[in-house]
Chain A
Amino acid sequence: MLRQSDIYFGQDESGRFLPWLIAFMVYLAALSIAGLFILNGLTQQFGAGIENSMTIQIPVTGSPSRDIARRTEVLQKLQRTSGVISSAHIPVKRVAELLRPWLGEATQSDQLPLPQVIDVAVDRTRGIRSDDIHRLFEDFRPPIVVDDHGEWLSDMVNALRSAEIVAISIVVLTGLATVGTVIFSTRAGLGLQKDTIAVLHFIGAKDDYIARQFAMRAAWLGLKGGIGGLAVALPTLAALRFAIGDLNFGLLPDLNLSSSGWISVALILPCVAIIAHLTARSTVLGSLSEMF
């Protein structure tokens, strides 16, 4: 069992306000960290595959043999183009499937002329752009259409990255605010405990012995605040997830928090205790080193 501390913290107000402040910080940090993981997941999902691909649509001409000839020419030229890793014709059936959510059963009918679609995997490090591909087939009538997913996706990914930076900033700021709060309340506590500290010094206590008691207390208050903050943050996250899940976007990628995300959110608890412990300890050691 833990022996009662040599220092009586009962009259120290920080025992009341510190956990509340820390709970608030932990709440913010938990939401930010969860957001960070979700954003990161999105970035990866978007980035993977699509970021390095383009699609070429070759509008139908009305003559199936001409269509096939044009398609073959496109595939052959692409093969010789530097920066193109591979290209493949997507069968009409598959195109129809992909379009069904928008066009419904109309895709089944022959009334709707579906373009031939070619999926092109590119290596962007070699500087290939959609314009380059377009230029290859300038003389095609009706003209081909080149969709560069990477271009708008990279905008999307950039936006996501900015959001990630904001989330990281919030986490860092809450950490700094926690450190500041602990320093402040520890200094106040040192003032209140002047007499006890003097007595402990006179009977031969080392600074470290005294600092440890302040540090243990700060860690305990941090833990209390952390548990409080998480106790509110976890239901918030669950509620958000439920609300988003309910919207049932077919388009949106997976918005769930990964298990490493949940673990990171849970790790806030030991982190906040350790931060409080170390901060209080170094604050006390710093102050005591100026005494005789």
Chain B
Amino acid sequence: MSKIVQFENVGLRYGLGPEILQDISFGLEPSSFHFLIGPSGAGKSSLLKLMYLAHRPTRGKVSLFDRNISTLPRKDLPSVRRRIGVVFQEFRLLNHLSAFDNVALPLRVTGLRGAEIKRHVEELLSWVGLKDHLDSRPPTLSGGQQQRVAIARAVIARPQILYADEPTGNVDDRIAARIMHLFEELNKLGTTVVIATHNKAMVRETGHAVMSLEKGRLSLQGNAVSDASQKKGIEVGKVPTRQRKPTV
């Protein structure tokens, strides 16, 4: 099966600065679930940025859905990005729009309008426990509530890949567990999930595949609980993850 995300000897530098990602190579299977761990400043967010088309690599090759993003024509970017959902580390909600409108945005940019959007968005916001905050603007919501709006926005359009950057950083353990549960559910429905986090306990508990970044290098690959796979240096994507038939 071909990889949904593929990195080959990728390097990234910001402007003329040092290379903050070096020689990154890995592949992700469709419908897999991965954690991306590493100390602050290791380059987790930067690696995600390459994966959600915020940057082009300075060297090497990044492929998404079997397409080389360095040679992807600009007009094709939106259609690729629509297959990707992102929960940003700092949420990046649009503060002048209501929670409802923020979550509706990925549907609206595809040209959808009206009643169908309304039903979908209200359903999803209820599901993340924000039924009573449809009209609230992000600045009036708590950090945890904003995070759930951001998560709802990332998943509303049923992306094939979901990236979440520190999605449990601002919430208590109970909500963190709920968010993790949501991601698990989406993964069961066929979504490839990549979560960048500091939360080692969460990584240990769930037993998903782990990519570890250290000073810009992917130093540890494999399943955090499977020592065998670490020793063999198995590519992340080849680690057996729960394979489920992707549903639409």
Contact = CB atoms under 8 A, between A and B. Distances in A.
Interface residues of A, number: 19
Contacts of B238: none
B94 interface: yes
A4 B108 CA distance: 12
Contacts of A44: none
A205 B82 CA distance: 8
A203 B153 contact: yes
Contacts of A198: 54, 92
A191 interface: no
B95 interface: yes
Interface in B88-105: 92, 94-97, 101, 105
Given A204-B109, A292-B55, A8 B78 contact: no
A217 B225 CA distance: 55
Contacts of B97: 4, 6
A195 B96 contact: no
Main secondary structure of the interface of B (DSSP, over half): loop
A209 B109 contact: yes
B79 interface: yes
A4 B96 CA distance: 9
Contacts of B110: 204
Contacts of A4: 96-97, 101
A184 B82 CA distance: 32
B70 to A, nearest CB: 10
A75 interface: no
B20 interface: no
A204 B96 CA distance: 20
A145 to B, nearest CB: 78
A67 B29 CA distance: 115
Given A204-B79, A292-B56, 20 more contacts: A6-B97, A6-B108, A8-B95, A10-B96, A195-B92, A198-B92, A199-B92, A200-B109, A201-B77, A203-B86, A203-B106, A203-B153, A203-B157, A204-B82, A204-B109, A204-B110, A205-B109, A206-B109, A209-B109, A289-B74
